[in-house]
Amino acid sequence: QVQLVESGGGLVQAGGSLRPSCAASGRTFSNYVMGWFRQAPGKEREFQAALSGSGGSTIYADSVKGRFTISRDNAKNTVYLQINNLKPEDTAVYYCAAKRVWHRVTSSQQQDYWGQGTQVTVSS
């Protein structure tokens, strides 16, 4: 089992930045692909970014390229999502996820573990 706990969400004005983080425990963190998804009210959970266990491979949703940066610190068992130039449409609950294999990492149906989410609200 892997336990994931997100933090670092909040209320921010448009144009600002946030860096949600996700702390993992339970298994060898570096063995897992880590991803970030978000879910706005009334919408499906959407992929944002993923990072391989070593940090050597990344993938982003087209809509967030250039504004979102995923990173990880395997010594701290933590993955981060740097979000810059926040927009009101970024308002959502942000979830981190872990999966064992770099395969279909963008699919919310293919993740092995989920955190409880952290709310990000962007005011205009």
pLDDT the model gives residue 27: 83
- Give the single-character DSSP code of 53: T
Say whether pLDDT at 29 is over 90: yes
pLDDT the model gives residue 23: 98
Which tokens go with 122? Answer: 């962007």
Mean pLDDT of 59-65: 96
pLDDT the model gives residue 26: 86
Mean pLDDT of 6-28: 96
Burial (CB count <10 Å: 0-12, 13-18, 19+), residue 112: middle
Say whether pLDDT at 46 is over 90: yes
Backbone angles phi, psi at 100, to 5 degrees: -80, -30
Mean pLDDT of 41-45: 96
pLDDT the model gives residue 35: 98
pLDDT tens profile 88-97? 999 999 999 9
Confidence of residue 119 (pLDDT cuts 50, 70, 90): very high
Mean pLDDT of 82-103: 97
pLDDT the model gives residue 15: 97
Single-letter code of the amino acid located at 115: G
Mean pLDDT of 6-20: 97
- Tell me which of 11 and 26 has the higher pLDDT: 11
Give the Å distances, CA to CA, from 112 to 2, 28, 62, 84, 99: 9, 14, 23, 28, 5
